[in-house]
Amino acid sequence: MKVPLSRIAHTRSGDKGDTANIGVIAWQERHYPILLRELTPARVKAWFGNLVSGDVVRYELPNLSALNFLLHGALGGGGTVSLRTDAQGKTFGAALLSLEIEVHEHELAE
Amino acid sequence: MIRIANGQGFWGDWLEAPVRLIDQGPIDYLVLDYLAEVTMSILQKQRQADPNLGYARDFPSLIGRISKKLLDRDVRVIANAGGVNPVACARAVRQLAPGLKVAVVLGDDVFPRLDEFLGKGYEMPDLDTGRPLSTIRDRILSANAYIGAFPLAEALASGAHVVIAGRSTDTALTLAPMVHHYGWAADDWDRLAAGTIAGHIIECGAQTTGGNCQVDWQNIADLDEIGYPIIEAEPDGSFCVTKHAAAGGRVSTDVVKEQLLYELGDPQRYITPDCIADFTSIRLADAGPDRVRVSGIRGSPRPPTLKLSISYSDGWKAIGTLVYSHPQALEKAQAADRVVRRRLARLGLSFDEIYTEFFGVNACHGPAAPPAADPPEVQLRIGVRGFDRKAVDRFTRELIPLVLSGPPGATGYGEGRPPVREIVAYWSALIPREEIQTRVEVVE
């Protein structure tokens, strides 16, 4: 079944120049494998469409049940160059929460 | 155990936070982080206009306000408030707090040395684009080397109550008191990495005590009196993250995880002047109410280079807005955007970028935003940027006419024409660390 990412994870996002980062943290350790399977860099890049001009790179932090995404070319130049409302990518993490991921019912069962 | 608190996550953060940290419970060191990437260029311009300026002007008045408490409770302050003029900052502090001993760390400002570096053959290419620094040489506004914890620890060893640095790393402010107090060696990579990660956890102030936090945010208590974070650092490098019990907010493993991921790059290579910290080695444990224990951190040797933070002038920009209301608010705003763009094109004006957002529909999340069917109101927000200041200035005159000459019902233009602002862009490069010699001065 399909559920929004917010069902199993929370996020925080920020910037380094024209690169946005999104940390995605599984609420429960046992849901980390779902993140690994569903949240590919390609899916994240497609979700943000024309907001992201460069590559999306994924790093794994199994000790925190978390993934870290770097979205290059994501902030319209970044810093004071950017003409965007969210020039620092502060809301990118929240934007990712409504991405729908495919999970099996038994994976969510308590 | 020593207690290190962060009372300021950026210049402009909550003015009451550091005062409350001292009032509400015991701390040994108060760390204040003032500098963002573009802050240095603003400060450089202020110093060019007045040689007594160029530092974070909130800082001396804060120290004046808390100076008696610092002495009474034996709290020492470490801040990168010095900007491009740490000595002037120290003098201003001494005027308002004459009872305090103040030390400054100098040597990070390399603005006057750039031609010397270029002459030595350092091309200082931008870490993002690879372009050599010579392509922007005549537009540079400031240049500073990020310095680490050891010069700050040396300043603490002078016995100063207040240590003022220029462009130190944010994490060094927190690591320095650990190096000073516990005498950690410059090659004790695991402990240095632990102190660095402690610094990362508290460098954004209340972002690690429940601010800007998605975790059950509706139920985080008393954000109006949120407590700023405190590190309880042990000699073995392990530490607890906590806050004063009387203050609002929340510290939990979930909250600390969010801050650990904030503005992170490669988690196995968090590079600082002091060490390279490995975020995949971190172990978190719930250690009671508002208390998280952190251990297991590993580090590896520091790089042979230091990072330079360089700012440069990169043209002009302006952003203007108009508001359209229901019905067909989005259609009206889209039509107005087309009118503005056609008028700009007919004037023969060209820009590096014209960017339009429909605020209330897609400004923050772009194509990831949920569909907005017939929103009650939409703000049209158009920005332009380019090197032709006259073109940008002309743009600022092209929005308000739409009130009478565009789609029906435009409002929200009360602020008048938007200002034209200089774009200050950021450039980062590397320099061999032996080129940067820091020194400590006590300002009497």
* pLDDT tens digits along A42-51: 999 999 999 9
Identify the DSSP state of B301: P
Q: Which of A48, A63, A90, A97 best probes binding to B when mutated, by most B CB atoms within 10 angstroms?
A: A63
- The count of C-alpha atoms lying within 13 angstroms of the C-alpha of B131, restricted to the half-sphere facing its C-beta, is 9
**Which residues, including other chains, have CB under 8 Å from residue B70's CB and lie 6 or more apart?**
B22, B30, B63, B76, B77, B100, B161, B162
Which residues, 6 or more positions from B248, have their beta carbon under 8 angstroms from its beta carbon? B210, B220, B221, B222, B223, B224, B225, B226, B227
- The H or E element containing residue B258 is helix B253-261
For residue A46, the enclosing domain spans 2-108
User: Residue A75, class by beta-carbon neighbours within 10 Å (0-12 exposed, 13-18 middle, 19+ buried)?
Assistant: buried
- The torsion defined by the Cα of B281, B286, B290 and B293, in degrees rounded to 10, comes to -40
CA B382 – CA B354 distance, rounded (Å):
7
What DSSP assignment string belongs to B156-180?
HHTT-SEEEESSB-HHHHHHHHHHH
B302-342 per-position pLDDT tens digit: 999 999 999 999 999 999 999 999 999 999 999 999 999 99
Q: Please answer yes or no on whether B424 and A11 come within 8 Å at the CB atom.
A: no
CB B233 within 8 A of CB B195: yes
| Burial (CB count <10 Å: 0-12, 13-18, 19+), residue B219 | exposed
A68 to chain B: which residues are within 8 Å by CB? Answer: 261, 264-265, 267
How far are the Cα atoms of B366, B404, B442 from residue B81, in angstroms, in the given order? 37, 49, 16
B311 strand-pairing partners: B142, B426
Instruction: Please list, in sequence order, all residues whose beta carbon lies within 8 angstroms of the beta carbon of residue B219, skipping any fewer than 6 positions away.
Output: none
Residues of B in contact with A78 (CB under 8 A): 426
Q: CB distance B214–A59 less than 8 Å? A: no
Measure in Å the smallest separation between the Cα of A63 and chain B Cα atoms. 6
- Contact between B370 and A98 (Cβ < 8 Å): yes
* Angle, CA A64 vertex, CA B279 and CA B232 arms, to 5°: 65
Q: How confident is the model at residue B44 (pLDDT cuts 50, 70, 90)?
A: confident
The answer to whether the Cβ–Cβ distance between B353 and A76 falls below 8 Å is: yes
| Mean local confidence (pLDDT), B134-150 | 96
A18/B128 CB distance under 8 A: yes
Q: Which residues contact B179 (CB under 8 A, 6 or more apart)?
A: B149, B150, B153, B192, B195
Q: For the segment B271-311, what is each residue's pLDDT rounded down to a tens digit?
A: 999 999 999 999 999 999 999 999 999 999 999 999 999 99
pLDDT at B413: 84
The identity of residue B329, as a single letter, is A
pLDDT tens-digit series, residues B379-426: 999 999 999 999 999 999 999 999 999 999 999 887 889 999 999 898
Q: Which range among A73-77, B33-37, B157-161, B191-195 shows the weakest confidence by mean pLDDT?
A: B33-37
What pLDDT does residue B206 have?
98
Q: Which residues of A touch B261 (CB under 8 A)?
A: 12, 21, 23-25, 61, 64, 66, 68
Partners of residue A96 in chain B, C-beta under 8 Å: 368
**What integer is the mean pLDDT of A29-37?**
97
* Cβ separation B214–A10 shorter than 8 A: yes
DSSP state of B219: G
Question: pLDDT category, B373, cuts 50, 70, 90?
Answer: confident
pLDDT in tens, B88-99: 999 999 999 999
The residue whose two tokens read 């390609």 is: A42
CA distance B139 to chain A (A): 15
Q: Which residue in B268, B233, B311 sits closest to A81, CA to CA?
A: B311
CA triplet A44, A49, A55: central angle to 5 degrees? Answer: 60
Question: CA of B281: which chain A residue's CA is closest?
Answer: A63
Q: Quick check: B199 pLDDT over 90?
A: yes
pLDDT digits (tens, 9 = 90+) for B49-80: 999 999 999 999 999 999 999 999 999 999 99
Phi and psi based region of residue B395 (left: phi greater than 0; alpha: psi -120 to 50; beta: remaining)? alpha
The token duo for B198 is 């402690």
> Smallest Cα–Cα separation from B419: which of B389, B439, B442, B376?
B389
Q: How far is A36 from chain B (nearest CA, A)?
A: 16
Q: Domain ranges in chain B?
A: 2-108+146-303, 313-427
Q: Does A16 touch chain B (CB under 8 A)?
A: yes
ipTM over 0.85: yes
Q: Which residues contact B190 (CB under 8 A, 6 or more apart)?
A: B237, B297, B298, B299
Tokens of B263: 């503005």
Do the chains contact at A21 and B423, CB–CB below 8 Å?
no
Residue A104 Cα, gap to closest chain B Cα (Å): 24
Mean pLDDT across chain B: 96
Is residue A27 within 8 angstroms of chain B, CB to CB? yes
Point out the residue among A51, A61, A96 whose CB comes nearest to the CB of B366. Answer: A51
**How distant is the Cα of B315 from the closest Cα of chain A, in angstroms?**
9
d(CA B250, CA B210): 5
**Are B355 and B436 spatial neighbours (Cβ–Cβ below 8 Å)?**
no
Distance from the B259 Cα atom to the nearest Cα atom in chain A, whole angstroms: 8
Q: Do B177 and B4 contact (CB within 8 A), yes or no?
A: yes
Percent of chain B with pLDDT over 70: 100
Contact B238, B194 (CB under 8 A): yes
Do A47 and A96 touch, CB atoms closer than 8 A? yes
Number of domains observed in the structure of chain A? 1
Beta-strand ranges (E) seen in B69-165 are: 76-79, 102-106, 140-145, 162-165
- pLDDT over threshold 90, residue A1: yes
Using DSSP's 3-state secondary structure scheme, residue B120 falls into: coil
Q: What is the pLDDT of residue B164?
A: 98
Could A16 and B258 be called an inter-chain contact, meaning their C-beta atoms sit closer than 8 Å? no
* Burial letters B302-330, b for 16+ CB under 10 A, else e: beebbbbbbbbbbbbbbbbbbbbbeebbb
Question: Within an 8 Å CB–CB cutoff, is residue A56 touching chain B?
Answer: no
Per-residue pLDDT, B39 = 83
Give pLDDT, residue B352: 97
Are A17 and B262 in contact (CB < 8 Å)? no
- CA-based nearest residue in chain B for residue A29: B254
- Look at B257 and A66 and tell me if their CB atoms are within 8 Å: yes
Chain A closest CA to B365's CA: distance in Å? 6
d(CA B288, CA A19): 36
Query: Out of 1.10.287, 3.30.70, 1.10.1200, 3.30.450, which CATH number does the structure's domain B313-427 have?
Result: 3.30.70
Separation of alpha carbons B34 and B51, rounded Å:
20
pLDDT at B202: 98
The model's pLDDT over B100-126, given as tens digits with 9 standing for 90+, comes to 999 999 999 999 999 999 999 999 999
Question: What's the pLDDT tens digit per position in B207-231?
Answer: 999 999 999 999 999 999 999 999 9
Set of chain A residues whose Cβ sits within 8 Å of the Cβ of B314? 81
pLDDT at residue number B48: 85
Please report which confidence band the pLDDT of residue B200 belongs to, taking 50, 70 and 90 as the band edges. very high
Q: What confidence tens digit (pLDDT) does each residue in B149-167 have?
A: 999 999 999 999 999 999 9
With 80 as the cut, is the pLDDT of residue A110 above it? Answer: no
3-state SS of chain A is CEEEHHHCEEEEEEEECCEEEEEEEECCHHHHHHHHHHCCHHHHHHHHHHHCCCCEEEEEEHHHCEEEEEECCCCCCCCCCCCCCCCCCCCHHHHHCCCEEECCHHHHCC
* pLDDT single digits (tens) B350-366: 999 999 999 999 999 99
**Is B254 close to A10, i.e. CB distance below 8 A?**
yes
Confidence of residue B245 (pLDDT cuts 50, 70, 90): very high
CB contact under 8 A, A99 and B355: no
What is the tens place of the pLDDT at every residue in A47-95? 999 999 999 999 999 999 999 999 999 999 988 899 999 999 999 999 9
